[in-house]
Amino acid sequence: MTAPLRVLIVDDELLARQRLEDLLARESDVAVAGAASDGDEAVEAIRTLRPDVVFLDVQMPGKTGMEVVREIGPDRMPVTVFVTAYDQFALQAFDVAAVDYLLKPYDDERFEQAFRRARKLAELSEVERLAGRLRTLLGGGAVPASASPAAATDDPLPGAAASSPAPAPASPWTERIAVEMRGQVRVVPVSQIEYITASGPYAELHTSERGYVIRERMQALEERLDPARFLRIHRSIIVRLDVIDTLLRGGGGDYAVRLKNGVKLKVARTRVEELERRMGVGR
């Protein structure tokens, strides 16, 4: 491109917009075409400013980022990098989004990685390739492997496969959870998670190998996990049922479970009856 790359910033948080502006100011041949603070402003700005790249917040007043894409139309969207504070939206973007996503809070290296992909695709006029992936994100159908931008660049999305398998039937339950780690993303299969513990807005996913910290509350995680496989046994603990080895009854009415790996987890008294039922234990 001979002209500067024109970027639109869309986020309802002033500080988030300013951070992106500061990061973009370090890039060569880039011009911030404008900024929007909600979905309606974003639609107007995309239509009037016609940016090459848009950093698009997912959760905003008025219209969400997904609704902005739907109103503009995937075929007319600029190269898009989703920005979100919620892992579930990040995982959607990881699976099918046009370029990449930024999971708040992100560091400078992670921004540079996402922006590099966006710049390359914009300069190669790859918008048409991206439209099919955006249609999938909006429920418009599967993406053929040949339409994947990751296949057209030497800088593929983290964890992206060289070709796309046939889509499996949709499940209402999460099968993978995206984890931001030092500027990179790892996708943890739910089948590998043995238990989850929480503290405030953070949760730690425990596998047989290590733990992964994510910014998500237990209530949201509980709603995303298959209840046939997972049970919340305490306000701060979710466990995968098939890794439970023993139900322990202590003095004073205290309960715990011992997992097959030897880990002991506390069970709230209000959850004991449901746990016994799920384990097939009679009173």
How far does CA 205 lie from the centroid of its chain?
Answer: 15
Report H helices in the chain. Answer: 14-25, 39-49, 65-72, 87-96, 108-123, 127-137, 218-224, 269-279
Q: What pLDDT does residue 87 have? A: 65
Q: What pLDDT does residue 75 have? A: 74
pLDDT at 104 over 90: no
Judge whether 127 lies within some domain: yes
pLDDT at 183 over 70: no
Tokens of 93: 């973007």
Q: What is the pLDDT of residues 226-283, one digit of tens each?
A: 999 999 999 999 999 999 999 998 877 789 999 999 999 999 999 999 999 988 876 5
Mean pLDDT computed over 79-102: 68
Q: What pLDDT does residue 97 have? A: 45
Judge whether 173 lies within some domain: no
Mean pLDDT computed over 83-91: 70
- φ, ψ for residue 59, nearest 5 deg: -100, 110
Q: Domain check: are 123 and 210 in the same one?
A: no
Domain tally for the chain?
2
Q: What is the CATH number of the domain that holds 239?
A: 2.40.50.1020
How far, in Å, CA of 25 to CA of 20, rounded? 8
pLDDT at 8 over 90: yes
Q: Which of 58-67, 144-153, 196-205, 216-225 has the lowest mean pLDDT?
A: 144-153
Query: What is the residue whose two structure tokens read 């990040």?
Result: 90
Q: Range of 20's domain?
A: 5-152
Which one of 152, 177, 200 terminates a domain?
152
Q: Domain check: are 124 and 14 in the same one?
A: yes
If one compares 273 and 172, the residue with the highest pLDDT of the two is 273
Share of residues in the chain with pLDDT > 90 (%): 41
Q: What pLDDT does residue 184 have? A: 65
Tokens of 114: 């996402």
